Amino acid sequence: MNLYKYVSDAINEKLGFVANLETPRNREFGDFSTNAAMVGAKLAHKNPRELAAEILPKIQELDFVSSAEIAGPGFINIKIKDDFILKNASVPQPQKATVPLVVDMDYGAYNVAKSLHIGHLRTSIVGDTLNRIFRFMGHKTISYNHMGDWGRSMGMVIAWIKRIHPDWPFFQDDFDAGMDLSKYTFTASELNTFYPQASALARQDESFMEEAQIITAGLQRGNKGYNALYNIFMPISLKCMHDTIEKLNILPFDNDLGEKHAALYVGEVEKILRAKNLLQQSDGAEIISVKKDTDTAPMPPMMFYNSRGATTYDATDIAAVYYRKLNDNPNKIIYLTDSRQSLHFEQLFRVAELAGLFDVKNLEHIGYGTINGADGKPFKTRSGNAADLDDIIQVAIDAVRSRVASNNKQLDNDTINNIAIAALKFNDLMHDLRSDYIFDPESVTSFEGRTGPYVLYTAVRLNSVLNRSTITPQLNNIEISVDERNLLMAIMDFDKMIQSAYENRATDMIANYAYNLCQLINAFYHTCPILRDDIDIKTQQNRLYITKLARDTLVVATDLMGLKIPAKM
Ligand code: ARG
């Protein structure tokens, strides 16, 4: 049951006007607090404390209220009856939205032939949890891995391959796409070295950069050799992406459709832009001005075609809006990227508005902060490179492994991997997604404190109680202790929390909710013995009932974060 909504509705109905219900941080003086007297006093031109005294008996009459008192300038603090909480606490269920939306979600967005780096961690983890939250709230989401698979980096990779294998057929004038190409292949790790080497070279050697740009334009215009080569390395890269997605336990994308796919629609979009006179020539490139008179900050134009006639990141993003509208007709498109791309999305949304491609108030960009190292700068590996996602995962796995060994525990590799992934994910989710945070592998893998392993450990503990017990959990109408009450109350807070997490796109609320729930679970576990002979059967049944409710609620929360609960820890 959504207790908050139930209590709020009941008070409004009883009083005949809408007041605000608060959930105080410290619930010592009440589970809820209403400003009804203040609202009513305004309506009736009365003194709030006097009106509070009039309202108080009406609130006390409500059958779920155990006590109500006036506090401060006229707030009324309300305590809910224990048996009401016990009877009505239930496992949170996926909701039916009153107005179900179709939402296109653009996150992950990995780049072909570049290994996933730490920058992709948050878009993957937070994006996945946002996706799960939207689905839980009853909306339909369509997720897009809008891959970087068609821009200049493709030209750089091909130019690099040409440099190391100039004799390969792809680069010959008489290239025949029908020939057997099976011997021209790469391992994933080989492929991942090409782009960094090519971009290092391009920085020193202008002619190489020039060549990469010409190749990019050629690739996009259908050059057979380049495209055949592209079709060899693209699937290798895609497989790496899928492996990482699986490792991170994030939902598979509904669409692995990136810039290349969007480019198919660039021509149609160009017509729209021309008809609206939005394309301007600029040094051989075609640009779209998005400046408004009211702008105070610089607002550069978007580039639709560069001076070599190649389609740009900007153009494919505009075309992707067009395609999604055409194909999904979503109510909203949400993009999740590093906040350093905020300007790009501001420009994109302006173009969408100018060209009439999409209702601009339903285009939403969520920019997340950077993951930093102890020095406060973007996290790097010891070699000084932006850390690869796989390196980060390995660092977390190593930290968990050594912790497990020093605690003299024996856990299999799968379990250790699971714990490490949970540690990474939970740590990412618990921070406000819009802020930067410092990543410290030691502390995030701790089994105590606000960490993923602590949450998993708590779930494992509940599972173990439930598995060991031969008694059937049963709700008995008996007195409950403070720790039982607090736990049930937290279970009932879930619905309000998820609503707020959804509205505010605040994935940290789920992580922090799970952590608080675990703390209450552990307090309950310590003060409320269950499977002990000196505890009467009714109490045992009741406590098992609460244990099960808590476990199932925790599972809902961990599922939303995509954490896997191990069998043993
Ligand atoms: N591939 C880009 C990157 O790694 C992110 C793409 C985000 N999505 C988009 N529609 N632009 O930075």
For residue range 465-514, what is the model confidence (pLDDT) as tens digits?
999 999 999 999 999 999 999 999 999 999 999 999 999 999 999 999 99
Cα–ligand 1 centroid distance for 302 (angstroms): 15
Q: Is residue 109 in contact with ligand 1, taking CB distance under 6 Å?
A: yes
* Model pLDDT for residues 54-99, shown as the tens digit of each residue: 999 999 999 999 999 999 889 999 999 999 999 999 999 999 999 9
* Model pLDDT for residues 38-51, shown as the tens digit of each residue: 998 888 888 989 99
* Model pLDDT for residues 511-521, shown as the tens digit of each residue: 999 999 999 99
- Domain containing 395 — which CATH number? 1.10.730.10
Which of 196, 228, 247 marks a domain boundary?
247
First vs last C-alpha separation in the chain: 32
Residue 396 and residue 440 in contact, taking contact as beta carbons nearer than 8 Å: no
* Model pLDDT for residues 297-337, shown as the tens digit of each residue: 999 999 999 998 889 999 999 999 999 999 999 999 999 99
For 248, phi then psi, to 5°, come to: -80, -5
Same domain (yes/no): 424, 525: yes
C-alpha to C-alpha distance for 464 and 547, rounded to whole angstroms? 11
Closest CA to 164 of 145, 190, 130, 143: 190
Helix/strand/coil (H/E/C) assignment for every residue in 384-446: CCECEHHHHHHHHHHHHHHHHHHCCCCCCHHHHHHHHHHHHHHHHHHCCCCCCEECCHHHHCC
- Closest Cα to atom 7 of ligand 1: 109
Same domain (yes/no): 62, 176: no
Residue 158 and residue 171 in contact, taking contact as beta carbons nearer than 8 Å: no
Q: Which of 26-30, 251-255, 338-342 has the lowest mean pLDDT?
A: 26-30
Ligand 1, atom nearest to 147 Cα: 1
Cα–ligand 1 centroid distance for 201 (angstroms): 24
Asked, for residue 294, whether it belongs to a domain, the answer is no
Mutate which of 144, 146, 348 to test ligand 1's pocket (most atoms within 8 Å of Cβ)? 146
Cα–ligand 1 centroid distance for 398 (angstroms): 30
Cα–ligand 1 centroid distance for 476 (angstroms): 54
Ligand 1, atom nearest to 341 Cα: 12
Cα-based distances in Å from 151 to 102, 157, 217, 403, 547: 29, 11, 9, 43, 53
Ligand 1, atom nearest to 258 Cα: 10
Same domain (yes/no): 41, 160: no
Question: Given this model, what pLDDT does residue 179 score?
Answer: 93
pLDDT band at residue 382, thresholds of 50, 70 and 90?
low
Q: Is residue 148 in contact with ligand 1, taking CB distance under 6 Å?
A: yes
Mutate which of 341, 344, 348, 389 to test ligand 1's pocket (most atoms within 8 Å of Cβ)? 341
Mutate which of 143, 337, 370 to test ligand 1's pocket (most atoms within 8 Å of Cβ)? 337
Asked, for residue 290, whether it belongs to a domain, the answer is no
Q: Is residue 108 in contact with ligand 1, taking CB distance under 6 Å?
A: no
Question: Given this model, what pLDDT does residue 378 score?
Answer: 83
Asked, for residue 513, whether it belongs to a domain, the answer is yes
Q: Dihedral through CA 503, CA 144, CA 258, CA 205, nearest 10?
A: 60
Question: Given this model, what pLDDT does residue 537 score?
Answer: 96
- Helices 313-327 and 266-275 cross at an angle (nearest 10°) of 90
Asked, for residue 414, whether it belongs to a domain, the answer is yes
Same domain (yes/no): 437, 555: yes
Which of 38, 62, 80 marks a domain boundary?
80
Question: Given this model, what pLDDT does residue 27 score?
Answer: 84
Cα–ligand 1 centroid distance for 442 (angstroms): 30
63-72, Cβ contacts within 8 angstroms, sequence gap of 24 or more? 64/6, 64/7, 64/10, 68/30, 69/29, 69/30, 70/37, 71/29, 71/30, 71/33
C-alpha to C-alpha distance for 184 and 258, rounded to whole angstroms? 25
* Model pLDDT for residues 387-442, shown as the tens digit of each residue: 788 888 998 999 999 999 998 989 999 999 999 999 999 999 999 999 999 998 88
Question: Given this model, what pLDDT does residue 143 score?
Answer: 98
Cα-based distances in Å from 119 to 105, 203, 242: 18, 22, 17
Same domain (yes/no): 74, 184: no
Same domain (yes/no): 417, 533: yes
Q: Is residue 146 in contact with ligand 1, taking CB distance under 6 Å?
A: yes
Task: Judge residue 63's burial from the number of C-beta atoms within 10 Å of its C-beta, 0-12 exposed, 13-18 middle, 19 or more buried.
Answer: exposed
Q: Is residue 318 in contact with ligand 1, taking CB distance under 6 Å?
A: no
Ligand 1, atom nearest to 345 Cα: 11
Residue 343 and residue 335 in contact, taking contact as beta carbons nearer than 8 Å: no
Question: Given this model, what pLDDT does residue 381 score?
Answer: 65
Same domain (yes/no): 549, 458: yes
Quick check: helix, strand or coil at residue 136? Answer: helix
Asked, for residue 371, whether it belongs to a domain, the answer is no
Cα–ligand 1 centroid distance for 111 (angstroms): 8
What H or E segment, with its residue span, contains residue 488? helix 482-492
Same domain (yes/no): 546, 419: yes
According to DSSP, the residues that pair with 378 across neighbouring strands are 372
Q: Is residue 337 in contact with ligand 1, taking CB distance under 6 Å?
A: yes
Question: Given this model, what pLDDT does residue 258 score?
Answer: 94
Closest CA to 509 of 496, 525, 526: 496
Q: How many domains does the chain have?
A: 3
According to DSSP, the residues that pair with 146 across neighbouring strands are none
For 391, phi then psi, to 5°, come to: -65, -45
Question: Given this model, what pLDDT does residue 109 score?
Answer: 92
Cα–ligand 1 centroid distance for 319 (angstroms): 14
Closest CA to 317 of 113, 125, 150: 150
C-alpha to C-alpha distance for 69 and 71, rounded to whole angstroms? 6
Which of 31, 50, 80 marks a domain boundary?
80
Quick check: helix, strand or coil at residue 363? Answer: strand
Q: Is residue 335 in contact with ligand 1, taking CB distance under 6 Å?
A: yes
Cα–ligand 1 centroid distance for 109 (angstroms): 5
Q: Which of 20-34, 211-225, 355-369 has the lowest mean pLDDT?
A: 20-34
Cα–ligand 1 centroid distance for 146 (angstroms): 6
Question: Given this model, what pLDDT does residue 383 score?
Answer: 65
Tokens of 319: 């075309």
C-alpha to C-alpha distance for 87 and 92, rounded to whole angstroms? 14
C-alpha to C-alpha distance for 157 and 192, rounded to whole angstroms? 10
Cα–ligand 1 centroid distance for 450 (angstroms): 31
Question: Given this model, what pLDDT does residue 384 score?
Answer: 65
Question: Given this model, what pLDDT does residue 385 score?
Answer: 67
C-alpha to C-alpha distance for 313 and 357, rounded to whole angstroms? 17
Q: Is residue 122 in contact with ligand 1, taking CB distance under 6 Å?
A: no
Question: How big is the chain, counted in residues?
Answer: 569
Cα–ligand 1 centroid distance for 292 (angstroms): 25
Q: Which domain holds residue 546?
A: 389-560
Asked, for residue 291, whether it belongs to a domain, the answer is no
Cα-based distances in Å from 255 to 109, 130, 134, 258, 457: 11, 17, 17, 9, 35
- Closest Cα to atom 5 of ligand 1: 109
Same domain (yes/no): 157, 72: no
Question: Given this model, what pLDDT does residue 154 score?
Answer: 95
Ligand 1, atom nearest to 337 Cα: 7
What H or E segment, with its residue span, contains residue 465? helix 452-468
Cα–ligand 1 centroid distance for 202 (angstroms): 22
* Model pLDDT for residues 137-168, shown as the tens digit of each residue: 999 999 999 999 999 999 999 999 999 999 99
Which residue carries 């406590």 as its tokens? 543
Same domain (yes/no): 426, 533: yes
Same domain (yes/no): 514, 412: yes
- Closest Cα to atom 6 of ligand 1: 109
Tokens of 292: 């408004």
* Model pLDDT for residues 189-248, shown as the tens digit of each residue: 899 899 999 999 999 999 999 999 999 999 999 999 999 999 999 999 999 999 999 999
Our measurement of the distance from residue 385's CA atom to the centroid of its chain's CA atoms, rounded to an integer in Å, reads 25
* Model pLDDT for residues 535-554, shown as the tens digit of each residue: 999 999 999 999 999 999 99
Q: Is residue 317 in contact with ligand 1, taking CB distance under 6 Å?
A: yes
Cα–ligand 1 centroid distance for 337 (angstroms): 7
- Domain containing 62 — which CATH number? 3.30.1360.70
Q: Starting from the edge strand earliest in sequence, which strands make up the sheet with 21-22, in order?
A: 21-22, 32-34, 75-80, 65-71
Tokens of 548: 């099960």
- Closest Cα to atom 11 of ligand 1: 317
Residue 32 and residue 78 in contact, taking contact as beta carbons nearer than 8 Å: yes
| Cα radius of gyration rounded to whole Å, the chain | 29
Amino acid at 481: S
Q: In sequence order, what are the residues at sequence separation of 6 or more whose Cβ sits closer than 8 angstroms to the Cβ of residue 164?
A: none
Question: Given this model, what pLDDT does residue 452 score?
Answer: 98
Asked, for residue 534, whether it belongs to a domain, the answer is yes
CB contact burial 127-143 (16+ within 10 A = b; e otherwise): bbbbbbbbbbbebebbb
Same domain (yes/no): 70, 180: no
What H or E segment, with its residue span, contains residue 70? strand 65-71
Asked, for residue 491, whether it belongs to a domain, the answer is yes
Cα–ligand 1 centroid distance for 147 (angstroms): 7
